[in-house]
């Protein structure tokens, strides 16, 4: 799953600069250059995996630990009141850089950033049908 042109792989290899905030042997965290809110940080596996679904489970604990450490650091440093951790997977979900990355975004009361606008099902039956379909597909 290598991609020689991947911008985040280039950051990992030190070929293009980043404002690094945390690193382990397998994980890197650095500032997002286009922050939705100032302090917005990205946490990535150093190895190239395109989406969350490609990340091996044995990296999960190290990644979660990094997200929590970085999340606390971002909150403390920006004096944030809250924190969003999010991820876009595949183009249809808004993914632009196809090297898996977690967005860690500090939140403030009335910061104006809106995500997850609620929708609704036609009826509860529709929701139950989808739940059943999803249950069947979970392996
Ligand atoms: P996504 O839409 O989830 O793929 O998000 C990609 C993110 O990467 C965006 O928030 C960009 O601002 C950010 N980004 C792109 N290039 C760089 C870079 N060289 N250094 C830091 N962040 C970057
Ligand atoms: Zn990559």
Could you tell me the distance, in angstroms and rounded to a whole number, from the CA of residue 128 to the centre of ligand 1?
37
Residue 39 confidence (pLDDT): 98
Q: Tens-digit pLDDT profile for the chain (139 aa)?
A: 678 899 999 999 999 999 999 999 999 999 999 999 999 999 999 999 999 999 999 999 999 999 999 999 999 999 999 999 999 999 999 999 999 999 999 999 999 999 889 999 999 999 999 999 999 999 9
The closest residue, in CA terms, to atom 18 on ligand 1 is 33
Determine, yes or no, domain membership for 96. Answer: yes
Say which residues have a Cβ less than 8 Å from residue 79's Cβ, sequence separation at least 6. Answer: none
pTM over 0.85: yes
Domain contains 22: yes
| Residue 1 confidence (pLDDT) | 65
**Residue 2 within any structural domain of the chain:** no
Total tally of structural domains belonging to the chain: 1
**Nearest ligand, CA of residue 10?**
2
User: Which residues does ligand 1 sit against, CB inside 6 Å?
Assistant: 7, 18, 32-34, 42, 88, 94-97
Residue ranges making up the domain that contains 38: 7-137
Is 76 a member of any domain? yes
Q: Which pairs with CB-CB distance under 8 Å and at least 24 residues apart come from 19-28?
A: 21/70, 21/73, 22/66, 22/69, 22/70, 22/73, 24/62, 24/66, 26/59, 26/62, 27/59, 27/62, 27/63, 27/66
């Amino acid at each position: 799953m290598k991609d020689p042109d991947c911008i985040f792989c280039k950051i990992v290899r030190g070929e293009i600069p980043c404002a690094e905030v945390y690193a382990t042997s397998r994980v890197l965290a650095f500032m997002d250059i286009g922050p939705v809110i100032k302090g917005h940080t990205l946490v990535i596996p150093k190895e190239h995996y395109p989406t969350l679904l490609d990340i091996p489970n044995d990296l999960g604990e190290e990644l979660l630990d990094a997200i929590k450490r970085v999340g606390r650091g971002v909150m403390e440093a920006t004096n944030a009141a809250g924190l969003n951790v999010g991820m876009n997977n595949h183009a249809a979900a808004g993914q632009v850089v196809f090297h898996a990355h977690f967005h860690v975004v500090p939140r403030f009361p009335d910061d104006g950033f809106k995500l997850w606008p609620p929708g609704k099902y036609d009826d509860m039956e529709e929701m139950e049908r989808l739940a059943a379909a999803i249950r069947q597909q979970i392996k």
